Structures are given as structure tokens and as C-alpha cells.
């Protein structure tokens, strides 16, 4: 393998602004963690795409803001130097602390860096379910603006929708008033649940949804080679890929087409297809060109309908690794697609694709397997118990209480072979406190 091929993993892709300029601006107070990064060669910036009818160009990789340092977080100027000027947060994340820390960091940087001025960055935040009280939308947004220390956000989402009815005219009427007051520029929703295709179809019909963020990963994509031609997988890799039809079928692809043609800007999340918890075995990644984290991102970027991917990058290394993948223009080849399928098969039984429409048919109607296991993933796999418990606390007891529930049939029909009862009981044990 050539040094050029190997470079995607090793290279540090820095610094459009650059950090040396940041050092000069901030002076001796610059944290030691940043100093070793200074003076490195500028090699690339993350490419940009148009976010649907908004007309705005956004980086294909955006910054899921979590685990930020309260005084100065070096990931933010590093991201700006890489051309990542889109920051994503939400009213509910860690009871508001994520918004507060992002606001404090951006405010401090804006006094020193032209690139951190409010007019040059993009902020997305989200409001929790307001379907029963649309007026709550105003309180949540105004609280978010205070935390973020800004007068407006660029994109305002209804967060975590799981029913088409939540994308309501009543919510839009409340949002429209806030928009006229200049408190946000564009409106949309996020969803990583089974209702995502129906929500996208609904969004295309109503005409007032500017953007949507949905769960989307390589298991929903047909593999293509460097020239964009279909790759024919064989054997176990082919069988594993075809199992996705049990989860989503072609419904998501049709819905993405409809939304894209309607001018809705499409944002992908949950691209890593992370395990629910620490499995009994670690799935080995088998490819020497890209890391697993890079490969799954590149698979989604090959879908040109997707404008940007929201990625929660908790360390500088993770930020650079993802940015290096974004700056690399090569498509995945057959070897990488086969490696992705092998990895997915090795994780069988450890990944929840939130297809509640399958397992939910065998469970009490109010039980929310996808949401509960997502919270457990935050706790166990992401190592973020604060976020996990904050999200879990928004769920009613009937959504997670496994007492007396027989999960046998639900587990048996899971396309990913998840022992649903086991993980639902664990979620109750570690999060219901």
C-alpha cells in the first residue's frame, strides 16, 4: 500500500484559519493541549454542499456539540480551521448544559477570531415534543437562545419525532411566529425512528419544512464502485446486506427521493451504527485503507442527496479522523463495502436499528424499544451517562418498564438478532435512577 493510500489515516488535515493565528490572538493563555498542533501545514478543508432550499452551503461534516470544556475547548477552533462551521445541539441535551457550553465557547472565540463571528457560523438546535402544547415551542427556543448567547439560530428542529402527527400545522403556526420575530432562519425536524420515511413524505407535502435530520447508515445504501456502478456482493456479505430489507425495505430510499426533489435539505445522523452496549466480543475491523469510523461516513457521503452528516466528535483525534475522511474524495471500493458487511455481521445481536414497527408488534403499545436502547447506547457505548439519563428521563415509565413483559417473540423477529429483553432490563437498571 502506497504512502498516499496510507495517508488518510495518518494525515492531520489542518487549519484554514489557522491555529497559529489563534495562538497569536489568545496569547500565552492558550491551553497546552493546543500548542503541539500549531504550525502544521494547511492541506485541506472539509468540502461543502447546498442544504436544500435553504440555499446555504454547509460542510459535509458537522459538529455534534457534546462534552465541551467549560473554559476553552480546542475542538471548536480546530473544527473552524478545518472548515467545520456548523454546530448541532438541542434543548434537552444534558439538561441544557450542551447549549450553555457551546454558547460560552463560541462567544469567547468570537472576540478573538473572525471565523467565529456569529454571522460566519451555523447553529442548529432542537425543541422536544410539543405536540400536546405547541406554545411550549416558544419557551424552549427562547431558553436555548439564552443558553447559546445568540439572538437567533440558523436551523430550528422539532426533535426526535416518532409519529407523523407530531409534524403538525399547530406546531408550524407557533414556529412561524417565532420565525417572523427573527429567532430562527429555517425550520425542520429530526427523527431516527421507524416513522422517518413517513415523516419525510409528510414534510414534502406540507411545504414548510426546510431541512430534516434522519438516522441513515451504510446498511440502507446500495454499494457502488469508484465509478458509481453497482457492486455485486457475494456469499455472506450479500446475505447480510439483503437483510436490511427486513428493517427498512426501499421505503427510506423512496422517502429520501421525495424529500430531496421537494427541496428539503437532508442531514444524516447515527451513521456509525453503534452497538447498544459493550458486547461480549469486540468486532474486528478488517480494512487497511480506512478506519471503520471513516468508512461508514464515506458510505453515506456517497449518497449525494445527503448535504451533511452530524457527528458527535468527543476528542481531537476523532475530529481529525472524520475530517480526513471528508477531505478524501475517493469512493469506497468493493473491498471496503465487503469489510462493512463483515463488520455488521460480527456485530449481529448488538445493534438496534430502531425499527420498532417490527418488534413493537409483539410488545405493549407504549413500549419504546428504539428510544430506550438509544439511551443505553449513550450510557454504555458512548460513555455519556449524563446525556443518557437526561434523554431517558423524558420517557414515561410505560415506555421502558420491562417488569412482567415477555420479550421472546419480539427478540425472535428482530432482524439484527438483539436480545431485546436483556437490554431493556439493563436500561431500566442503570438509567432509572
- Quick one: 377 and 263 in the same domain? no
Q: Rounded CA gap, 213 and 190, in Å?
A: 4
- Quick one: 379 and 341 in the same domain? no
- Quick one: 392 and 339 in the same domain? no
For residues 370-379, average pLDDT: 89
Q: What are phi and psi of 325, to 5 degrees?
A: -65, -40
**pLDDT at position 141:** 97
Band the pLDDT of 11: cuts 50, 70, 90: very low
- Quick one: 247 and 361 in the same domain? no
**pLDDT at position 337:** 87
For residues 76-84, average pLDDT: 93
For 305-348, give the DSSP string. TEEEEEE---SHHHHHHHHHHHH--PPP-HHHHHHHHHHHHHTT
Let me know if residue 351 belongs to a domain: no
Q: Which of 302, 326, 346 is the last residue of a domain?
A: 346
pLDDT tens-digit readout, 307-341:
999 998 888 888 999 999 999 888 998 888 888 88
* More confident: 340 or 20: 340
* More confident: 43 or 392: 392
Let me know if residue 95 belongs to a domain: yes
Average pLDDT, the chain: 82
- Quick one: 179 and 259 in the same domain? yes
For residues 180-195, average pLDDT: 93
pLDDT tens-digit readout, 272-309:
876 776 544 456 777 888 888 899 999 999 999 999 99
Let me know if residue 89 belongs to a domain: yes
350: pLDDT strictly greater than 70: yes
- Quick one: 23 and 140 in the same domain? yes
Band the pLDDT of 95: cuts 50, 70, 90: confident
pLDDT tens-digit readout, 197-206:
999 999 999 9
Tell me the sheet residues that pair with 87.
63, 123
Residue 336 grid coordinates: 471496503
- Quick one: 281 and 316 in the same domain? yes
- For residues 260 and 363, the answer to whether their CB atoms sit within 8 Å is no
Residue 8 lies in domain: 3-346
Residue of 169, 147, 148 lying closest to 158 (CA atoms):
169
**pLDDT at position 38:** 31
- Quick one: 34 and 171 in the same domain? yes
**pLDDT at position 195:** 86
- Quick one: 156 and 94 in the same domain? yes
- Quick one: 413 and 304 in the same domain? no
**pLDDT at position 17:** 38
181: pLDDT strictly greater than 60: yes
Q: Rounded CA gap, 330 and 301, in Å?
A: 11
Residue recorded with cell 403499545:
365
Q: Which of 320, 346, 372 is the last residue of a domain?
A: 346
* More confident: 156 or 337: 156
Structurally, the chain folds into a number of domains equal to 2
Find the Cα–Cα–Cα–Cα dihedral 161, 297, 104, 123, rounded to 10°: -50
Q: Residues 6-30, buried b or exposed e (16+ Cβ, 10 A)?
A: eebeebbbbbbbbbbbbbeebeeeb
What percent of the chain stands above pLDDT 90?
50
Residue of 210, 199, 105 lying closest to 148 (CA atoms):
105
**pLDDT at position 236:** 55
For residues 163-171, average pLDDT: 93
20: pLDDT strictly greater than 50: no
pLDDT tens-digit readout, 208-237:
999 999 989 887 765 555 555 655 655 655
Q: Which of 313, 346, 379 is the last residue of a domain?
A: 346
- Quick one: 342 and 372 in the same domain? no
24: pLDDT strictly greater than 50: no
Amino acid at each position: 500500500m502506497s504512502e498516499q493510500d496510507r495517508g488518510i489515516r495518518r494525515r492531520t488535515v489542518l487549519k484554514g484559519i489557522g491555529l497559529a493565528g489563534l495562538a497569536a490572538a489568545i496569547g500565552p493563555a492558550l491551553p497546552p493541549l493546543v500548542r503541539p498542533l500549531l504550525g502544521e501545514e494547511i492541506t485541506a478543508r472539509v468540502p461543502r454542499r447546498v442544504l436544500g432550499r435553504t440555499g446555504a452551503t454547509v460542510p459535509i461534516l458537522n459538529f455534534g456539540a457534546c462534552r465541551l470544556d467549560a473554559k476553552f475547548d480546542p475542538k471548536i477552533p480546530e473544527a473552524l480551521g478545518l472548515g467545520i462551521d456548523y454546530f448541532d445541539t438541542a434543548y434537552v441535551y444534558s439538561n441544557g448544559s450542551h447549549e450553555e457550553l457551546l454558547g460560552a465557547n463560541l462567544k469567547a472565540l468570537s472576540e478573538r477570531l473572525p471565523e467565529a463571528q456569529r454571522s460566519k457560523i451555523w447553529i442548529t438546535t432542537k425543541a422536544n415534543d410539543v405536540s400536546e402544547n405547541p406554545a411550549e415551542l416558544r419557551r424552549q427556543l427562547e431558553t436555548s437562545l439564552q443558553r447559546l448567547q445568540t439572538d437567533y439560530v440558523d436551523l430550528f428542529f422539532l426533535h426526535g419525532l416518532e409519529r407523523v402527527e407530531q409534524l403538525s400545522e399547530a406546531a408550524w403556526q407557533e414556529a412561524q411566529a417565532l420565525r417572523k420575530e427573527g429567532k430562527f432562519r429555517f425550520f425542520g425536524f429530526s427523527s431516527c425512528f421507524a416513522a422517518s420515511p413517513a415523516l419525510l413524505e409528510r414534510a414534502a407535502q406540507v411545504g414548510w419544512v426546510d431541512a430534516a435530520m434522519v438516522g441513515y447508515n451504510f446498511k440502507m445504501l446500495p454499494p457502488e464502485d469508484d465509478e458509481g456502478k453497482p457492486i455485486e456482493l457475494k456469499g455472506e456479505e450479500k446475505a447480510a446486506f439483503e437483510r436490511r430489507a427486513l428493517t427498512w425495505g426501499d421505503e427510506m430510499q423512496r422517502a429520501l427521493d421525495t424529500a430531496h426533489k421537494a427541496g428539503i435539505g437532508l442531514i444524516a445522523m447515527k451513521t456509525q451504527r453503534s452497538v447498544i452496549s459493550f458486547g461480549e466480543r469486540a468486532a474486528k475491523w478488517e480494512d487497511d485503507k480506512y478506519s471503520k469510523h471513516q468508512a461508514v461516513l464515506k458510505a453515506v457521503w456517497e449518497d449525494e442527496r445527503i448535504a451533511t452528516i452530524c457527528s458527535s466528535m468527543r476528542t481531537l483525534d476523532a475530529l481529525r479522523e472524520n475530517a480526513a475522511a471528508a477531505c478524501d474524495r475517493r469512493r469506497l471500493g468493493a473491498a471496503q463495502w465487503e469489510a462493512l458487511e463483515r463488520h455488521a455481521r460480527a456485530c449481529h445481536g448488538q445493534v438496534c436499528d430502531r425499527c420498532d414497527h417490527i418488534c413493537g408488534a409483539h410488545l405493549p403499545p407504549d413500549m419504546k424499544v428504539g428510544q430506550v436502547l438509544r439511551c443505553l447506547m449513550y450510557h454504555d457505548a458512548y460513555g455519556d451517562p449524563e446525556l443518557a439519563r437526561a434523554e431517558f428521563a423524558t420517557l414515561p415509565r410505560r415506555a421502558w418498564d420491562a417488569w412482567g413483559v415477555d420479550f421472546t417473540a419480539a427478540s425472535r423477529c428482530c432482524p439484527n438478532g438483539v436480545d431485546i429483553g436483556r437490554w431493556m432490563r439493563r436500561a431500566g437498571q442503570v438509567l432509572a435512577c
